[in-house]
Amino acid sequence: MAMRNSMSFDLAFTRRGRRAPRHASPAASIAFAATVFWFCIGATPAVTGLPTVQLKIKGHAVSAEVAANEQARTTGLMYRFSLKPDSGMLFVFSNPQPLAFWMKNTYVPLSIAFIDAEGRIANIEDMAPQTEATHSSRGPAMYALEMKKGWFGANGIGPGDRVEGLEKVPNAHE
């Protein structure tokens, strides 16, 4: 007789009229295990369903998810294990201000560009995953763009370069 796991459910009956357990589908087992895992570690799943915007920097196209509210900005790219090529997240703030970011619960190494209200990159910082070290803007910034670590350097992008397409970005709201 085959051994049954503790996550088995079924409405089938045995020859004696008792309900016989049956294995749950693999997808259901994985979904249940993931839910238990996130609950046990006290984590919040990644923010999904954010609007995206197409940006350009020195001719290089970027597809960026837009984090324009407090919840989306707080979670950012936490709990993600990969990014698509030329994709990232644009953090939008109501007013230019000094910004600082960390990488707690973020598994992908990232580079962040701090962008002023005119769309110019003020500075770019590389950030190691799962650290609480802060990475700050050098002056007031209204936007921050996170990409895979090294993306800006690999594309010859640096401080002073202009980000095109920010006029299409939704305004920040708290």
Tokens 């970005």 identify what position?
169
> Does the pLDDT of residue 172 top 60, yes or no?
yes
Residue 43 has pLDDT above 50, yes or no: no
Nearest-angstrom CA–CA distance, 55 and 87? 10
pLDDT of residue 133: 95
24-40 pLDDT, tens digit per residue, is 555 544 544 444 444 33
What is the percentage of the chain residues whose pLDDT exceeds 70? 72
Nearest C-alpha neighbor of 141 from the set 70, 72, 83, 93: 93
Report, as an integer, the average pLDDT of 94-98.
97
Asked whether the beta carbons of 142 and 116 are under 8 A apart, the reply is yes
- pLDDT at position 48 is 61
Eight-state DSSP code of residue 166: G
Q: Where are the beta strands (DSSP E) in the chain?
A: 52-57, 60-67, 87-97, 100-101, 110-115, 121-127, 135-136, 141-148, 163-164
39 or 58, higher pLDDT: 58
pLDDT tens-place string over residues 111-121: 999 999 999 99
The average pLDDT across 139-159 equals: 98
Cα angle: 60, vertex 61, 63; to 5 degrees = 145
- Position 49 scores a pLDDT of 82
Say whether pLDDT at 161 is over 90: yes
